[in-house]
């Protein structure tokens, strides 16, 4: 049964993403059977897409203050824990949110400081001329309305007006759907970071494409 499920999953990936991506995902699984290994694809967005600026009727978008954010941390459906909020606000990270009435429909977080990578003791560093975008979220009830794209473009417009060069972020190389979504929004490649754990220690190597954006991993 397990073998059949594996074959079916592989066939689905092949149909959806093609041979190259299917082989890439299979290779990652083989390597991870020996040691934990990830490829983080750096991406950057530097131009506002006018298609994703106007909010649907009855929606509003803005950067949220701490007082506005705190009540939403009490509802697990918003995926904002109190611990996360404490840490993000201590770094002066900013959250751009989209509301329908008082309901938080979507949000994204933006940082000017090194930010932790999930499940590792490492921080992602980047050139201070850019703003790091992370933790994009759209509530289940509001998906399919491009709210994430709209919020990100409106935030980018704000940062460009403040003199920043644009946004940087990353997506794991095996997350093909997220990568395709980012490319549709206008993101372009900004190098790759190869992350692995050997003898209990995390190590990383950044490709030359990361250089112009200062993308690299360092211990927190």
Residue 196 has, within 13 A of its CA and on its CB side, a CA count of 12
Q: Residue 90's CB: how many other CB atoms inside 10 A?
A: 9
Q: Which residue from 201, 162, 160 is spatially nearest to 47, judged by alpha carbons? A: 160
CATH 3.40.630.30 location in the chain: 37-219
Kindly give the confidence (pLDDT) of every residue in the chain, 220 residues in length, as a single tens digit, with 9 standing for 90 and above: 444 554 455 445 545 546 777 787 778 788 778 899 999 999 999 999 999 999 999 999 999 999 999 999 999 999 999 999 999 999 999 999 999 999 999 999 999 999 999 889 999 999 999 999 999 999 999 999 999 999 999 999 999 999 999 999 999 999 999 999 999 999 999 999 999 999 999 999 999 999 999 999 999 8
CATH classification code of 37-219: 3.40.630.30
Q: Which residues contact 54 (CB under 8 A, 6 or more apart)?
A: 150
Phi first, then psi: give them for residue 101, nearest 5 degrees.
65, -125
Bridge partners, 201 (sequence order):
198
CA distances for 205 relative to 40, 195, 217, angstroms: 10, 7, 8
Cβ atoms 96, 62 nearer than 8 A: yes
């Amino acid at each position: 049964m397990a073998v059949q499920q594996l074959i079916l999953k592989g066939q689905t990936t092949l149909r959806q993403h093609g041979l190259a991506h299917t082989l890439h995902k299979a290779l990652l699984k083989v390597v991870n059977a020996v040691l934990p290994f990830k490829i983080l694809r750096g991406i950057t967005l530097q131009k506002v897409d006018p298609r994703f600026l106007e909010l649907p009727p009855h929606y509003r978008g803005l950067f949220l203050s701490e007082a506005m954010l705190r009540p939403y941390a009490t509802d697990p459906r918003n995926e904002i824990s109190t611990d996360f909020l404490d840490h993000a606000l201590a770094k002066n990270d900013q959250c751009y949110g989209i509301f329908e009435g008082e309901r938080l429909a979507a949000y994204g977080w933006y940082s000017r400081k090194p930010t932790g990578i999930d499940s590792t003791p490492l921080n992602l560093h980047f050139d201070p001329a850019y703003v790091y975008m992370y933790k994009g979220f759209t509530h289940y009830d509001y998906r399919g309305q491009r709210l994430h794209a709209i919020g990100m473009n409106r935030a980018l417009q704000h940062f460009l007006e403040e003199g920043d060069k644009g946004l940087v972020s990353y997506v794991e190389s095996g997350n093909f759907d997220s990568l395709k979504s980012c490319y549709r929004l206008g993101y372009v490649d900004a190098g790759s970071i190869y992350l692995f754990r050997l003898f209990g220690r995390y190590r990383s190597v950044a490709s030359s494409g990361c250089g112009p954006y200062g993308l690299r991993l360092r211990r927190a």
